[in-house]
């Protein structure tokens, strides 16, 4: 059974940084796609960044240059380093994983194509 557990959220002032972690257990696909999504209450879930098994990553335009994905593959941990945070980054951030890595970069736009989700971690950025 695949489980994703996020951590690292919190409250920061604008311009600050946070690093989110997603620890995956039971996720052992040879080809895969994982990523981060975020959601504000009352709005649709939006893609932040995704990465495939070859290490190719894709970022939403709103976070490109500020957020960076990295992996600690031996521990099955996916990180999202967030810098230059702004109030509009305030959201609940979810880790997601798919059962295959097909067209991973396009899945940034389609959260419905991810099979597993964490419970989310809250990020609040104050001005």
What is the per-residue pLDDT across 103-126, written as a single tens digit (0 to 9) for each? 999 999 999 999 999 999 999 999
- For the residues 4-27, what does the mean pLDDT come to? 96
pLDDT in tens, 79-107: 999 999 999 999 999 999 998 888 999 99
Q: What is the pLDDT of residue 101?
A: 84
Q: Which of 46, 51, 88 is nearest to 66 (CA)?
A: 88
pLDDT at 82: 98
Tell which wins on pLDDT, 7 or 75.
7
Residue from 24, 50, 53 nearest 38 by CA: 50
Question: Mean of the pLDDT values across residues 7-15?
Answer: 98
For 73-127, strand residue ranges (E) read 77-82, 91-98, 116-117, 121-126
**Per-residue pLDDT tens digits for 57-73:** 999 999 999 999 999 87
- Supply the pLDDT for residue 73: 78
Per-residue pLDDT tens for 21-32?
999 998 877 678
- The average pLDDT across 3-11 equals 97
């Amino acid at each position: 059974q695949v489980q994703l557990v996020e951590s690292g959220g919190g409250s920061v002032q604008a311009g600050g940084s946070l690093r989110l972690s997603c620890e995956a257990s039971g996720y052992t696909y040879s080809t895969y796609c994982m990523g981060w999504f975020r959601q504000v209450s009352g709005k649709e879930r939006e893609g932040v960044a995704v990465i495939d098994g070859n290490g190719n990553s894709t970022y939403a335009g709103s976070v490109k240059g500020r957020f960076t994905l990295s992996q600690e593959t031996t521990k099955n941990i996916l990180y999202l380093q967030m810098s230059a945070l702004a109030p509009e980054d305030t959201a609940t951030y979810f880790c997601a994983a798919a059962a295959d890595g097909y067209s991973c970069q396009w899945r940034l736009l389609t959260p419905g194509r991810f099979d597993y989700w964490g419970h989310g971690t809250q990020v609040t950025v104050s001005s």
